[in-house]
């Protein structure tokens, strides 16, 4: 709760002073709180999970640091101190001495597991129960097939509604409100787990049995592990980058040749306003590790767009027409404007190549 109050206060102050929230540093004497902030909020009970979600929405994990007890002025008041002692205390009036130094001299954050009391805040479901829930086959009569969908969000929302209907029909508490974030997340995990079980069945079996993955596996260098939700994640050197969000430190592994991966790639491609391969890859990397990601993007993205260029009669380019000249190393916005000076019709009369003038230079470019 103290961390939430600190975030709310910082938000108000930075808004009033027109300062950037990214420059704020938060200090806590609780290692448990720092570990919670750097973990996935879904691991915890609702009370803690909701507050962690608020903190993670407004701040980044690297903005939170640990203040040692000996340097914490709040302990002077909470543990009892006389008025005369407070009057003479530089720690009380000026704060910790290290704040007057460069940030490189601030106390180092000692990484380590949360202490035992914080385990009470975790959900009571065991890892085995979570695995059996996510990786189990769909309920009898579950006829949803990802191959019938061309949009990831639509597939996920339809799945969430179907799972809610199944839950309501099973006699549990009836839910009639809009879909919750947890229901949508469960639907996403169901299809991701399904894709992983189909593409990485041997690897999943080996990891769950605490054995090495097959020598010829594409996941051999990724050091895969199964998380509490039953999903395969990378466990590489990014685990030590504690300032990164949990999903970036332990990205979910996706197979290259699977329709679910295709839908997710398409979704992130659209989030980037149909940007280049690097933009799509950057967006994917915030949550996923796609096997041979760059090749997967270049392979799938052209197939995801309906090609209506040649099947329908269109007006061919003519000299003096103005066109945008595509440059593969430049985002969509800054593409230069060119003027058509010559066209090259094909045998069918359609113009597929044109000569354009851009900044005084001539180029022969295909029409896309």
How many CB atoms neighbour CB 213 within 10 A?
21
Residue 128's pLDDT is what?
36
Q: How many helices (H) and strands (E) does the chain have?
A: 14, 10
How many CB atoms neighbour CB 40 within 10 A?
19
Residues of the chain falling short of pLDDT 50:
111-117, 119-120, 125-137, 304-307, 310
Residue 131's pLDDT is what?
37
Residue 264's pLDDT is what?
92
For the entire predicted model, the pTM comes to 0.51
Closest CA to 327 of 283, 282, 305, 358: 358
Domain coordinates of the chain in residue numbers? 2-118, 127-304, 322-366
> What confidence tens digit (pLDDT) does each residue in 25-52 have?
888 888 888 877 777 666 666 677 777 7
Rounded to 10°, the helix 259-271/152-169 angle is 120
> What confidence tens digit (pLDDT) does each residue in 175-193 have?
888 888 888 988 998 999 9
Residue 192's pLDDT is what?
92
Q: What is the 3-state secondary structure (H, E, C) of 5-29?
A: HHHHHHHHHHHHHCCCHHHCCEEEC
Residue 127's pLDDT is what?
38
Residue 214's pLDDT is what?
85
Residue 222's pLDDT is what?
86
Residue 41's pLDDT is what?
60
Closest CA to 219 of 241, 196, 239: 196
């Amino acid at each position: 709760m103290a961390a939430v109050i600190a975030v709310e206060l910082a938000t108000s102050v930075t808004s009033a002073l027109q300062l950037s929230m990214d420059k704020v540093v938060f200090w806590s004497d609780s290692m448990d709180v720092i570990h919670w902030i750097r973990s996935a909020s879904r691991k915890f009970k609702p009370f803690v999970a909701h507050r962690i979600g608020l903190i993670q929405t407004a701040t980044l994990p690297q903005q939170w640091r640990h203040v040692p007890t000996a340097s914490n002025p709040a302990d002077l008041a909470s543990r009892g101190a006389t008025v005369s002692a407070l009057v003479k205390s530089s720690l009380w009036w000026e704060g910790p001495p290290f704040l007057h130094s460069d940030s490189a001299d601030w106390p180092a954050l000692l990484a380590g597991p949360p202490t035992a009391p914080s385990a009470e805040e975790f959900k009571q479901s065991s890892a085995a129960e979570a695995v059996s829930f996510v990786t189990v086959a769909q309920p009898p009569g579950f006829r949803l097939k990802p191959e019938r969908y061309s949009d990831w969000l639509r597939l996920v929302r339809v799945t969430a509604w179907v799972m809610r209907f199944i839950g309501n029909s099973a006699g549990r508490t009836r839910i009639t409100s809009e879909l919750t974030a947890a229901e949508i997340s469960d639907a996403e995990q169901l299809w991701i787990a399904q894709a992983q079980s189909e593409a990485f069945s041997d690897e999943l079996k080996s990891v769950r049995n605490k054995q090495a993955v097959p020598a010829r596996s594409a996941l051999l260098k990724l050091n895969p592990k199964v998380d509490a939700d039953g999903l395969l994640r990378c466990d590489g050197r990014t685990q030590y980058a504690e300032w990164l969000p949990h999903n970036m430190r332990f990205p979910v592994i996706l197979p290259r040749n699977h329709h679910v991966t295709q839908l997710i790639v398409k979704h992130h491609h659209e989030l980037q306003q149909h940007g280049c391969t690097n933009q799509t890859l950057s967006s994917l990397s915030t949550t996923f590790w796609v096997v041979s990601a760059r090749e997967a993007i270049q392979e799938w993205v052209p197939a995801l767009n309906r090609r209506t260029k040649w099947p329908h009669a269109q007006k061919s380019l003519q000299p003096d027409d103005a066109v945008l000249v595509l440059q593969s190393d430049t985002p969509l916005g800054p593409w230069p404007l060119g003027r058509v000076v010559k066209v090259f019709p094909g045998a069918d009369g359609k113009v597929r190549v044109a000569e354009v003038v851009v900044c005084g230079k001539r180029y022969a470019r295909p029409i896309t």
